[in-house]
């Protein structure tokens, strides 16, 4: 259980990132029944430390204070390529060796990497600095698409506000979902955010290079993205064989025709989502995906979120006034519902979603079983444990003897593995929305609750 938390700061400390850590671990919210942590600022030496915002912090503790911490946080570390003070690095290594947790926000991962703590581990940092982290510390497995990564006792997060997600995740791990959800409500932030930082990354597309005779073809493709386009179509347009066209196109753009067209379609879809109010179905048609489901599939693979979630984040229009909020939210929100077609409650939930005009996709979990990672994610969203969504009356449960399984943290993985291997054990239907909410839709009231 986390009781003692230290935040490491250096010169030009990042005020926002430190504020995130302090909000989660440094405030006394016992009046709300939330846990209280002993919280301290630590630096290479005690004394005033300038911040990037123009004011100074008073650091009260030297590196020796880290020895008392259950959790060591590094809110950010501006000196990316400068050797950090060795006493800090040694204190970090000793903390991990004795079993303390370590959490970094944004460029705080650079300090952990300098200490060797991230060697051989997956790690996250702000997407703008992911390449530099990988270059300076090649033994670190940098993931530039996620909001945070938990690898053993080490938790690293992407830039700025992603630190909130990482801190709430750690609270959920240490104190339970109810505590994390209550803290999120107090901070007026979502308890779980959909997607990763890929949705915020600028992704330039490959351009046709001069001298390969592809410029006219590229212009023609961009003018006809709304129609089906095959390599044979492109080859016929420029009077080449498909093989010659594919070879010359890759020489000109650095990628295949299929990949290049997909990227162009995605870019057009993003522009339409951000700058128009077209329904997702119309966006899919104009960008050449044909159906909303196909657009959602490719968009989620590229950006990590559904098209409706991207629109809410980046739309250039005026936000709806308060009286229109719920209606707009319901129209734009995208959902996925896990069902067994033979289940009457699943059919009822689908009928209610249709009646409410909800935008959703269907996943038949007996045909496409959820992975262990997906189950862990949906349990976090639901605020439930795996045994809470298990149909212990199913034959598979009897064969496994699940009634006698302990319902505790030590056996949690065992329960999740069983659900992944035997999806018929899952209580159904489960509805997940792209804003991070989720319900077990066993009643009209529960289904309506996720609609907003």
Residue 156 has pLDDT above 90, yes or no: yes
- Options 42, 106, 167, 343, the catalytic residue: 343
List phi, psi (to 5°) of 311. -60, -45
Strand partners, 156: 104, 149
Domain that holds residue 276: 215-313
List phi, psi (to 5°) of 252. -80, -35
Determine the Cα–Cα distance for residues 61 and 83; give it in Å rounded to an integer. 21
Cβ atoms of 447 and 349 within 8 Å: the answer is yes
Comparing 365 with 72, the larger pLDDT belongs to 72
Residue 32 shares a structural domain with residue 161: yes
Can you say how many angstroms the Cα of residue 10 is from the centroid of all Cα atoms in its chain? Answer: 28
How would you classify the pairing of strands 38-42 and 4-8? Answer: parallel
Asked if the structure places residue 329 within a domain, the reply is yes
Residue 122 shares a structural domain with residue 170: yes
Q: Is the dihedral of CA 317, 321, 324, 330 positive or negative?
A: positive
Looking at residue 213, its pLDDT comes to 62
Residue 103 has pLDDT above 80, yes or no: yes
104-149 per-position pLDDT tens digit: 999 999 999 999 999 999 999 998 898 899 999 999 999 887 788 8
Residue 222 shares a structural domain with residue 188: no
Residue 88 shares a structural domain with residue 114: yes
Residue 291 shares a structural domain with residue 182: no
Asked if the structure places residue 225 within a domain, the reply is yes
Asked if the structure places residue 257 within a domain, the reply is yes
Nearest to 20 by CA among 60, 67, 76, 71: 76
Asked if the structure places residue 153 within a domain, the reply is yes
Asked if the structure places residue 200 within a domain, the reply is no
Residue 171 shares a structural domain with residue 308: no
Sheet bearing 154-157, strands edge to edge: 38-42, 4-8, 71-74, 101-104, 154-157, 148-151
178-189 per-position pLDDT tens digit: 788 788 878 877
Residue 289 shares a structural domain with residue 414: no
Residue 61 neighbours by CB under 8 Å, 6+ apart = 6, 40, 41, 42, 43, 46
Q: How many domains does the chain have?
A: 3
Looking at residue 206, its pLDDT comes to 46
Residue 246 shares a structural domain with residue 165: no
Distances (CA, A) of 157 to 19, 167, 196, 290, 377: 15, 9, 10, 36, 17
Please list the helix, strand and coil fractions of the chain in percent, rounded to the nearest 5, in that order.
50, 15, 35
* Residue that terminates a domain, selected from 136, 163, 193: 193
Looking at residue 160, its pLDDT comes to 80
Looking at residue 29, its pLDDT comes to 92
Comparing 383 with 61, the larger pLDDT belongs to 61
Residue 291 shares a structural domain with residue 348: no
Asked if the structure places residue 109 within a domain, the reply is yes
Query: Poorest-confidence range of 14-28, 59-73, 125-139, 424-438?
Result: 424-438
Looking at residue 197, its pLDDT comes to 52
Residue 30 shares a structural domain with residue 148: yes
Residue 418 has pLDDT above 70, yes or no: yes
List phi, psi (to 5°) of 208. -70, 130
Determine the Cα–Cα distance for residues 238 and 272; give it in Å rounded to an integer. 29
Residue 39 has pLDDT above 90, yes or no: yes
Residue 323 has pLDDT above 80, yes or no: no
Residue 332 has pLDDT above 60, yes or no: no
* Residue that terminates a domain, selected from 252, 281, 313: 313
Asked if the structure places residue 202 within a domain, the reply is no
Looking at residue 436, its pLDDT comes to 67
Asked if the structure places residue 362 within a domain, the reply is yes
Token pair, residue 80, equals 């990316």
Q: What is the mean pLDDT of residues 138-163?
A: 88
Q: What is the mean pLDDT of residues 365-378?
A: 83
Determine the Cα–Cα distance for residues 103 and 18; give it in Å rounded to an integer. 12
Looking at residue 313, its pLDDT comes to 67
Residue 345 has pLDDT above 90, yes or no: no
Residue 385 shares a structural domain with residue 284: no
Residue in this structure with the two tokens 């990227």, named with its chain if needed: 263
Determine the Cα–Cα distance for residues 150 and 54; give it in Å rounded to an integer. 33
Cβ atoms of 287 and 295 within 8 Å: the answer is yes
Secondary structure element (H or E) that encloses residue 41, with its range: strand 38-42
Looking at residue 339, its pLDDT comes to 83
* CATH label of the domain that carries residue 287: 1.10.10.60
How many residues appear in the chain?
452
Q: What is the mean pLDDT of residues 210-235?
A: 82
pLDDT above 70: percentage of residues in the chain = 88
* CATH label of the domain that carries residue 396: 3.40.30.10
Q: What is the mean pLDDT of residues 402-428?
A: 88
Which pTM was predicted?
0.52
pLDDT above 90: percentage of residues in the chain = 35
Looking at residue 233, its pLDDT comes to 92
Query: Poorest-confidence range of 174-178, 180-184, 423-427, 433-437?
Result: 433-437
Residue 332 shares a structural domain with residue 442: yes
Secondary structure element (H or E) that encloses residue 123, with its range: strand 122-123
**Model confidence at 194, in pLDDT bands (50, 70, 90)?**
low
Residue 251 has pLDDT above 90, yes or no: no
Determine the Cα–Cα distance for residues 155 and 103; give it in Å rounded to an integer. 5
* CATH label of the domain that carries residue 117: 3.40.50.880
Q: Is 167 a catalytic residue?
A: no
Write down the mean pLDDT value for the chain.
83
Residue 316 has pLDDT above 70, yes or no: no
């Amino acid at each position: 259980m986390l009781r003692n938390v230290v935040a490491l700061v250096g010169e030009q400390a990042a005020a926002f990132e430190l504020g995130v850590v302090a909000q989660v671990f440094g405030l006394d919210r016992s009046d709300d029944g939330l846990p209280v942590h002993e919280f301290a600022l630590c630096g290479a030496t005690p004394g005033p430390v300038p911040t990037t915002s123009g004011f100074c912090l008073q650091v009260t503790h030297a590196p020796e204070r880290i020895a008392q911490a259950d959790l060591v946080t590094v809110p950010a570390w501006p000196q990316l390529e400068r050797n950090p003070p060795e006493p800090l690095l040694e204190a970090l290594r000793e903390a991990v060796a004795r079993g303390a947790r370590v959490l970094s926000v944004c460029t705080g991962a650079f300090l952990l990497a300098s200490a060797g703590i991230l060697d051989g581990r997956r790690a996250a940092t702000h997407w703008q600095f992911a390449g530099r982290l990988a270059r300076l510390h090649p033994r670190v497995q940098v993931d530039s698409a996620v909001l945070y990564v938990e690898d053993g006792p080490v938790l690293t997060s992407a830039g700025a506000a992603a630190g909130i997600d990482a801190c709430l995740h750690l609270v959920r791990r240490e104190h339970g979902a109810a505590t994390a959800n209550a803290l999120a409500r107090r901070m007026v932030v979502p308890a779980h955010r959909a997607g990763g930082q890929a949705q915020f990354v600028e992704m330039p597309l490959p351009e046709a290079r001069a001298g390969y005779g592809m410029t006219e073809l590229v212009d023609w493709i961009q003018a006809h993205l709304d129609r089906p386009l095959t390599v044979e179509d492109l080859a016929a347009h420029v009077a080449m064989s498909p093989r010659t066209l594919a070879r010359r196109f890759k020489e000109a753009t650095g990628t295949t025709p299929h990949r290049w067209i997909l990227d162009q379609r995605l870019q057009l879809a993003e522009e339409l989502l951000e700058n128009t109010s077209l329904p997702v179905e119309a966006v899919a048609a104009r960008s050449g995906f044909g159906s909303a489901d196909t657009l959602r599939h490719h968009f989620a693979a590229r950006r990590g979120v559904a098209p409706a979630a991207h629109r809410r984040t980046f739309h250039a229009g005026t936000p709806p006034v308060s009286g229109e909020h719920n209606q707009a939210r319901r129209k734009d929100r995208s959902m996925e519902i896990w069902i067994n077609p033979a289940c009457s409650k699943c059919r009822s939930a689908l009928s209610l979603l249709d009646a409410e005009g909800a935008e959703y996709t269907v996943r038949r979990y007996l045909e496409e079983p959820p992975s262990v990672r997906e189950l862990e994610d949906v349990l976090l969203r639901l605020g439930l444990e795996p045994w809470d969504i298990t149909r212990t009356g199913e034959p598979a449960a009897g064969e496994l003897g699940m009634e006698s399984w302990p319902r505790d943290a030590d056996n949690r993985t065992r329960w999740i593995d069983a659900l992944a291997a035997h999806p018929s054990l899952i209580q159904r239907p489960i509805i997940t929305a792209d804003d991070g909410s989720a319900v077990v839709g066993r009643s009209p009231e529960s289904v309506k609750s996720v609609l907003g």
